[in-house]
A and B are shown apart, each in its own frame.
Chain A
Amino acid sequence: MTTTQDAVLPSRSAAHAPPPGRVTIEPVRPSHRWSPPRPVRRAAGPIGTLLLWWLLSAVGVLSPEVLASPATVFGKALSMIADGELPTAIAVSGQRVVLGFLIGGVVGTALALVAGLLRLGEDLVDSTVGMFRTLPWVGLIPLFIIWFGINEEPKIALIALGVTFPIYFNIYAGIRGVDAQLVEAGRVLGLRRWGLIRHVVLPGALPGALVGLRYALGTAWLALVWAEQVNASQGIGYLMNNAQQFFQTDVIVVCLVTYAVLGLLCDLAVRVLSRYALSWRASFEGA
């Protein structure tokens, strides 16, 4: 098979035929074909999707009842900002996230410190948290309503619960991941228990803690979406529920985009914080 193909190769190859067992590396010039810059290429997908959406709406394939056109959504967003409806909703929802996040963050951190720093704490806390972790927290909404009523409390409790676990697991893993050799060096240098915790264990757990923070913020916004489906009279979820009654898909999309943007902003903030707080780290930063 191969031999027959070799025989019919163009004569150019035959003229420069390498000795048997050798291969000639054909020189290739770098192509100078123009290619769009990387950010443009990266933006092409989202913008293309947006264009497709706009096109489908314009030709009538997507009716406004199914999905409002991007132009309508944008206009609606502007008017909702102008009349203060969206900023108010963001403020109310933001307050829920901040409160829930603070409560969950404090509880998660406290549990992680107890379990991470003390062996007794690990025995008592870790399996217990592991047990509660497996509860589907979204499924707890009915119970939370019975316990906390239908006002702000069940919403904040749900967010706090969603935040507790990523904070707990990442800080706990961070503490237990600290290099034992460094702890030993700290002991030799004369650090006592609190000195070791402050100068060795906690800074060593920081990278893990920041991963937990990023994850927890994502969960906080997700929990908010669920929580605001429960009898909200204010907030982004309330706007969405309201819009659903009147088939206002433009408002629904504005609300969804708002959730996404707020989540992205939180993520960005943690990434900036990480870059600053972990500047000592000598780890792989991507090729």
Chain B
Amino acid sequence: MTAVTTSTDTAAVSIRGLRKQFGERAVIDGLDLDVAPGEFVALLGRSGCGKSTLLRILAGLDSEIDGLVTVPGRRAVAFQAPRLMPWKRVWQNVVLGLAGRPDRALAQRYLDEVGLSAKTTVWPKTLSGGEAQRVSLARALVREPELLLLDEPFGALDALTRVKAQQLVADLWARHECAVLLVTHDVEEALLLADRVLVMDGGVIAHEVPVALPRPRQIDHPTLVRLRTELLGRLGIVEPSRSARPGDAA
């Protein structure tokens, strides 16, 4: 029983009993997951827990699996590294792989959207890390995906650039209304962006937290702080509690 089918059913992503083995070791072992159309889901987990493997399976990059996986036909991926073709101008990178002749006006529209109007014709080597990652986002969005897969796309960015990139993703998601699966190791990022935060452990979705807060969200919102502590606990990190500090007791 092995299948990755594409459909436009009610759920954007539907996974039943997914199992993925590398040699003897099962990285994903009986995983079930549904993602609704337009839902923003963040996937957390310790390094090596299989979250990136799951994303690769959904992207169609790995189909040596057992189980039933249903995904939309129109999918797009933004990787941790921008993976732009260095020999293609920025706009050619954006429309690479689209059917028909490369359409510069189309590329321009999506580059405008990520704030890179002025970089249309430059070589990727001249871009900063944040700019390259925005081109990678434009390249994903130009495909008008029903499912956008983001594999730690802000992992390699500096803290300030990352905050801007996160806001950009939030805006783009609100505008394009696609389902998003964001794989990340940043708990705050997950809570700021997602409708639902999943924790992957032992090859399954071990924990699930709905985040029913209005957007834009503040990082110091009490609910968010509580959820953060809960999620960090699930990831095996215990934060020093405030009351335990010397001086607070008095």
Using a CB–CB cutoff of 8 Å, the interface residues on chain A facing chain B are 181-182, 184-191, 195, 199-200, 203-204, 206, 279-282
Pick from B14-22, B76-84, B210-218 the stretch touching chain A: B76-84
Contact of B88 among A184, A190, A199, A282 (CB under 8 A): A199
Are the C-beta atoms of A181 and B97 separated by less than 8 Å?
Answer: no
Report if B125 contacts A (CB, 8 A): yes
Are the C-beta atoms of B96 and A199 separated by less than 8 Å?
Answer: yes
Lowest 6 A-B CB distances belong to which pairs?
A189-B97, A282-B125, A185-B83, A203-B87, A190-B97, A280-B123
Q: A199-B88, A200-B85, A280-B86 are in contact. Are A191 and B97 (CB under 8 A)?
A: yes
Are the C-beta atoms of A281 and B86 separated by less than 8 Å?
Answer: yes
Q: A190-B98, A191-B96 are in contact. Are A281 and B83 (CB under 8 A)?
A: no
In the complex, what residues of A have CB within 8 A of residue B97's CB?
Answer: 186, 189-191, 195, 199
State the interface size on chain B (CB cutoff 8 A).
21
Q: Identify the closest chain A residue to B96 (Cβ).
A: A189
10 further A-B pairs in the complex, CB-CB below 8 A; given A186-B85, A280-B88? A181-B81, A184-B83, A188-B61, A188-B76, A190-B97, A199-B97, A204-B87, A280-B123, A281-B86, A282-B123
In the complex, what residues of B have CB within 8 A of residue A191's CB?
Answer: 96-97
Are the C-beta atoms of B86 and A185 separated by less than 8 Å?
Answer: no
Contact of A188 among B59, B87, B98, B99 (CB under 8 A): B59
Report if B115 contacts A (CB, 8 A): no
Contact of A281 among B61, B76, B81, B125 (CB under 8 A): B125
Q: How far is B79's CA from A185's CA once the two chains are assembled, in angstroms?
A: 8
Are the C-beta atoms of B85 and A182 separated by less than 8 Å?
Answer: yes
In the complex, what residues of B have CB within 8 A of residue A206's CB?
Answer: 87
Using a CB–CB cutoff of 8 Å, the interface residues on chain B facing chain A are 59-61, 76-77, 79, 81, 83, 85-88, 96-99, 123-125, 139, 143
Q: Identify the closest chain B residue to A282 (Cβ).
A: B125
Chain A binding surface, main DSSP class: helix
Are the C-beta atoms of B81 and A188 separated by less than 8 Å?
Answer: no
Q: How far is B123's CA from A28's CA once the two chains are assembled, in angstroms?
A: 44
A–B complex contacts, Cβ < 8 Å, 25 sampled:
A181-B79, A181-B83, A182-B83, A182-B85, A184-B61, A184-B83, A185-B77, A185-B85, A186-B85, A187-B61, A188-B61, A188-B76, A188-B77, A189-B143, A190-B97, A190-B98, A199-B85, A199-B88, A199-B96, A200-B85, A279-B123, A280-B87, A280-B123, A281-B125, A282-B86
In the complex, what residues of A have CB within 8 A of residue B83's CB?
Answer: 181-182, 184-185
In the complex, what residues of B have CB within 8 A of residue A181's CB?
Answer: 79, 81, 83
In the complex, what residues of B have CB within 8 A of residue A281's CB?
Answer: 86, 125
In the complex, what residues of A have CB within 8 A of residue B79's CB?
Answer: 181, 185
Are the C-beta atoms of B86 and A188 separated by less than 8 Å?
Answer: no
Q: Identify the closest chain A residue to B80 (Cβ).
A: A181
Q: How far is B83's CA from A163's CA once the two chains are assembled, in angstroms?
A: 35
In the complex, what residues of A have CB within 8 A of residue B86's CB?
Answer: 280-282
Q: How far is B99's CA from A195's CA once the two chains are assembled, in angstroms?
A: 11
Q: How far is B98's CA from A189's CA once the two chains are assembled, in angstroms?
A: 8
Q: How far is B143's CA from A189's CA once the two chains are assembled, in angstroms?
A: 9
In the complex, what residues of B have CB within 8 A of residue A188's CB?
Answer: 59-61, 76-77
In the complex, what residues of A have CB within 8 A of residue B96's CB?
Answer: 186, 189, 191, 199
Q: How far is B132's CA from A282's CA once the two chains are assembled, in angstroms?
A: 14
Q: How far is the CB of A203 from chain B (nearest CB, A)?
A: 4
B59, B83, B99, B139 interface centre (most CB from chain A within 10 Å): B83
Q: How far is B81's CA from A206's CA once the two chains are assembled, in angstroms?
A: 23
Q: How far is the CB of B72 from chain A (nearest CB, A)?
A: 14
In the complex, what residues of B have CB within 8 A of residue A195's CB?
Answer: 97
Are the C-beta atoms of B125 and A280 separated by less than 8 Å?
Answer: yes
Q: How far is the CB of A189 from chain B (nearest CB, A)?
A: 3
Q: How far is the CB of A181 from chain B (nearest CB, A)?
A: 6
Q: Identify the closest chain B residue to A196 (Cβ).
A: B97
In the complex, what residues of A have CB within 8 A of residue B124's CB?
Answer: 280
In the complex, what residues of A have CB within 8 A of residue B61's CB?
Answer: 184, 187-188
Q: How far is B79's CA from A227's CA once the two chains are assembled, in angstroms?
A: 54
